[in-house]
Amino acid sequence: MILERCPAFSISWGKYQKSWGHDESGIYNDVAEFATFIVDAYERGETQPVFDAFALIEEFLVNGDDEVRAAASIGFLEDVGNISSWRPFGREPFIQCLGPVSKSAWAEIEETWLGKQTLADVVRAEIRSQEKK
């Protein structure tokens, strides 16, 4: 569906797949590649792929199963936020592209990262939270 709705990603996707050879890349690596492509597209001034991607992610979050929703939010949205935070334009352009469900997922991700510097900090906080339950 991603290539169908975001055909500009096809060339990057082909190079990415070739780089993995016969190895399985995994959904989160695949989604990270798409997120990187979208942030790079924005940086090049190509806004249509950005709008198309965020519309598709909204659909995934609304209609997808648990695995699809997790890949859309924890994979794509979190990666876009992290990747763009290191670019001069930051996260703001992407926040403006969020649909209602994506906004909620984005807010949850920001809450998860609040006061944390590394993924290890996030994991430790999640483990502590689970231990309290």
- How many structural domains are present in the chain? 1
| Rounded CA separation 77/56 (Å) | 12
| pLDDT tens sequence across 43-95 | 999 999 999 999 999 999 999 999 999 999 999 999 999 999 989 999 999 99
Chain centre to alpha carbon of residue 45: 19
Selected residue with higher pLDDT from 27 and 125: 27
Domain extent, residue 75, equals 2-17+24-132
Check residue 45 and give left, alpha or beta (phi > 0: left; psi -120 to 50: alpha): left
Number of Cα atoms under 13 Å in the Cβ half of residue 101 = 15
Compute the average pLDDT of residues 29-33.
96
As a whole number of angstroms, the distance between CA 67 and CA 17 comes to: 21
